Structure 1
Amino acid sequence: MRQPAAPWTALITLALLGASESVRAEPCATYRVAHYAQGLLFFRDEQGREAGVDADVARELARRTGCNLVEVLESRVRIWGQFRHGALDITLSAVPSPEREQLAELVPYLKGRSFVVTRGALAAELPNADSFVAASQLRVAVVKTYLYGAKIDGWLGQLRAQRRVEEMADFAAAARLFEAGRVDAIVVNPLSYPALLKLVKPTESLHLPPWGQGDKTVVCLALSRTRVSDQDRRRIRMALNDMIRDGTMEAITKRYVGASTAHDLVYDGKTE
């Protein structure tokens, strides 16, 4: 006949269950989230308030997880330098690379293509990417350390070898360089292109050459593997995925780019 469990066995079981519940109920920590200025991803509005898709995503993640997310503005160079030195917790709008995947857990939330913009006057002279490379006087502006996808990054590699790429700290600086006529092309994405349109003269014709369309890439939330605990990474990852599933991510993006574009930009598990 089976003997009833000893009182001490039941007490140990209850204690273990209590410890498990305690771990699950442990509040999320405080983390520093670094943004970078990039078109409609992150900017200051007319009242000087921080706004943009990434700003709204960070605040919604804080609300859902209970994490204290302290937002700061940094350059792309400083952001990934700090990740390498174990001095930063989280950033958004990270394009994956093997090095970054070693430093951080990358959770996709947007997708899209980068593309090259030139002046309309150059359209007839540039039938393909090689024609731009062959025209040694032409230059292009990019955001330093930004990854644009294999196709565009390969093209930029050829131009970098000829010292024809202006590497700027942020998109606003790159756009100003293009607006001033100091470069002949700039690489943008769907969320930075509207910012470029606000800068250029209304009479200036822009050209989006077919050869300048990049590969589809994903845009990720980056969570430091050394500074953000496993439990909090899981908590934040689940909240971000829930935001995609329940339509919140699309609603956030829609505020800035409209319904049709927002639907195309939200990550759906596909890149093609």
Structure 2
Amino acid sequence: MRGLTALLTALACLPAAACSEAGGGDTLERVRAAGVLRVALTETNPPWNFLDEGGRPAGYDVDVAREVARRLGVSRVEFVGTDFANLVGGVVADRFDIVVAGQTATAERGRQVAFSRPYAVNRIAVFVRKGDTSITGPGDLAGRRIAVSEGTIQADFARTRVPGAEVRTYRNAILGLTDLAYGRADAALVSWFQGVYLATRNGLAVTAAGPPLRVCALSMSFDRHSPALLRAVDGAVGDMIGDGTLTTISRRRLGGLDMAAELRGTPAGRTG
């Protein structure tokens, strides 16, 4: 609990300074008046968020976003699909009100947007082709062709922490994993949940290798001049953790995982 408390304190510092600069109306006032919350998703990140067989947004992020909107007193949710690399810019340009798409709060992003308390914990894994024993974890990535989704912390890691890596960027993880399966990349850095889901669903001969590259706490992001929205979203997420709602959603969407327990545990607080 101490670790998670420290994480929440650190995340709160990102938007707090920015909120003091607020010069316009709070996003919460506007969305309540309009009766609609515009939520950004990539729509290509299962089981977090994706389009179902009917073309409708689905997944953990979608269920969480709808529940948060309800608790904010907003009756309608409008999902906006975009690439991961455009999430921060879209908030700044007011193309949507909030991002619920598996973002990690970083100092660089925090200079442009505000972040909520974590609503999920994600494990980033190294995926390789099945049968490839030359890569057993992050220590074997030097000089390799590494597939990543543009705009992610995995892309930053590959560019700055892997000596001699040939970093290959893609619009989404399925494209990177497909290139990996066909030998056009040596490894892919992907969410463990997402990689397993996509490999199974699409029959890709790839598998996770070694321990997680990183364990990340995921937050929602929105306009940095909206302290009322920050307080309301944080309160909604806290209530969802406490009343069992997040447990129900995650067990349904994430293979039985209790995300509330993950968020209460010290690993997320220690590494997020």
| TM, length-normalised to structure 1 | 0.75
- Cross-structure match for 2:208: 208
Could you tell me how far 1:181 is from its partner in structure 2?
2.6
Letter of the 1:118 partner, please give it: V
Deviation per residue, 1:110-164 (Å, 9 max, x gap): 11320101123321x235544431xx4x31211111114xxx95454255x7461
- Cross-structure match for 1:245: 242
CA contact (8 A) 2:99 2:220 kept: yes
- Cross-structure match for 1:91: 99
Could you tell me how far 1:61 is from its partner in structure 2?
1.3
- Cross-structure match for 1:18: none
Could you tell me how far 1:75 is from its partner in structure 2?
0.4
- Cross-structure match for 1:58: 65
Identify which of 189, 194, 199 aligns with 1:196.
Answer: 199
CA distance in 2, matches of 1:59, 1:242: 14
Task: Quickly say closer, same or farther: Cα 1:129–1:242, change in 2 above 3 A.
Answer: closer
Could you tell me how far 1:85 is from its partner in structure 2?
4.4
Deviation per residue, 1:199-222 (Å, 9 max, x gap): 234xx4x44332x52232100011
CA distance in 2, matches of 1:55, 1:117: 26
Task: Quickly say closer, same or farther: Cα 1:31–1:269, change in 2 above 3 A.
Answer: farther
Could you tell me how far 1:269 is from its partner in structure 2?
6.2
Corresponding pairs, count = 234
| TM, length-normalised to structure 2 | 0.75
Could you tell me how far 1:224 is from its partner in structure 2?
1.4
Larger CA deviation: 40-49 vs 99-108: 99-108
Letter of the 1:235 partner, please give it: A
Deviation per residue, 1:61-113 (Å, 9 max, x gap): 12221224421011011212223445542102210110222322212111132
CA distance in 1, matches of 2:193, 2:138: 23
Give the secondary structure class of the aligned counterpart of 2:88: helix
CA contact (8 A) 1:104 1:222 kept: yes
Q: Which runs of 5+ in 1 are unaligned?
A: 1-24
- Cross-structure match for 1:38: 45
Task: Quickly say closer, same or farther: Cα 1:235–1:84, change in 2 above 3 A.
Answer: closer
Give the secondary structure class of the aligned counterpart of 1:142: strand
Identify which of 81, 87, 91 aligns with 1:73.
Answer: 81
CA contact (8 A) 2:120 2:263 kept: yes
Alignment of 1:1-272 (within 5 A): 28-29=32-33, 30-36=36-42, 37-67=44-74, 68-85=76-93, 87-92=95-100, 93-107=102-116, 108-123=118-133, 125-126=134-135, 129-133=138-142, 136=143, 138-148=144-154, 153-159=156-162, 162=164, 164-193=166-195, 194-201=197-204, 204=205, 206-210=206-210, 213-226=212-225, 229-259=226-256, 261-263=257-259, 266-268=262-264, 270=266, 271=268, 272=270
Give the secondary structure class of the aligned counterpart of 1:61: helix
CA distance in 1, matches of 2:79, 2:173: 19
Could you tell me how far 1:237 is from its partner in structure 2?
2.1
Determine what percentage of the aligned residue pairs are the same residue: 24
CA distance in 2, matches of 1:265, 1:115: 21
Higher alpha-carbon Rg: 1
